[in-house]
Chains A and B, each alone.
Chain A
Amino acid sequence: DADVTQTPRNRITKTGKRIMLECSQTKGHDRMYWYRQDPGLGLRLIYYSFDVKDINKGEISDGYSVSRQAQAKFSLSLESAIPNQTALYFCATSSFAGGGTQYFGPGTRLTVL
């Protein structure tokens, strides 16, 4: 089984809809991250969490919110999706004790029409 899983893997939705992307990990890591990847722009950090009670904005947090339900679960919400949020979304994990190596999930391809 994969160490970092993301659901759904693909999602098509309409402008204005609320969308939640979920991430689970079995690596026992304390730190979790959400990124989006756009062609030509690389990956950009949306939110990160260093433990269950710690949530921090990344480079591009506007239009997104997150919830760290447990050490192993970190979800990303788009309250009112818009077309320029169409992208590939990745969840990642790391541990402070592990020196900071980040491990990525398989990604969620989101299309907002």
Chain B
Amino acid sequence: KQEVTQIPAALSVPEGENLVLNCSFTDSAIYNLQWFRQDPGKGLTSLLLIQSSQREQTSGRLNASLDKSSGRSTLYIAASQPGDSATYLCAAHWDTSGTYKYIFGTGTRLKVLA
């Protein structure tokens, strides 16, 4: 059974710190993995998508990596700011023999302190 886990569930850091959010998944036959940001009471905003053939993707201060063999993805946030405070979700996509699965982790709630 495919599962996605995010640890820790919550994280507080001082402004300016570099930080890493973790996402683990079972079944290395992943199709792609996507990172999202969710603000309280709001929808999800796509941050980065990594295809199974890629090792990492970068957008501004964000860098996401993918290691299929170990079943891990990380989201690196450089020089964190209070505006980065939100819940960060990862979602893994499997598409095996016509069976489509898109499984979300339960998220890491990030608070960046000014």
Report A's interface with B, CB cutoff 8 A: 33, 35, 40-45, 48, 56, 58-59, 90, 92, 99-107
Contacts and interface: CB of A to CB of B under 8 A. Distances in A.
A39 to B, nearest CB: 9
Given A40-B106, A42-B89, A99-B51, A90 B43 contact: yes
Contact of B42 (A42, A44, A107): A107
Interface stretch (B11-19, B66-74, B77-85, B97-105): B97-105
Contacts of B32: 99-100
Contact of B44 (A56, A59, A90, A100): A90
Interface of B: 31-32, 34, 36, 42-46, 49, 51, 89, 91, 93, 100-107
Contact of A99 (B36, B49, B101, B102): B49
Contacts of B107: 42
A60 to B, nearest CB: 12
Contacts of A92: 44
A43 B49 contact: no
A58 B104 CA distance: 13
| Residue with the highest number of chain B CB atoms closer than 10 Å, among A43, A58, A92 | A43
Given A42-B89, A42-B107, A99-B49, A104 B44 contact: yes
Contacts of A99: 32, 49, 51
Given A42-B89, A43-B89, A102 B106 contact: no
Contacts of A106: 42-43
27 contacts: A33-B102, A35-B104, A40-B106, A41-B106, A42-B104, A42-B105, A42-B106, A43-B104, A44-B104, A45-B102, A45-B103, A48-B100, A48-B102, A59-B103, A90-B43, A90-B44, A92-B44, A100-B51, A101-B46, A101-B49, A102-B46, A102-B91, A103-B46, A104-B43, A105-B43, A106-B43, A107-B42
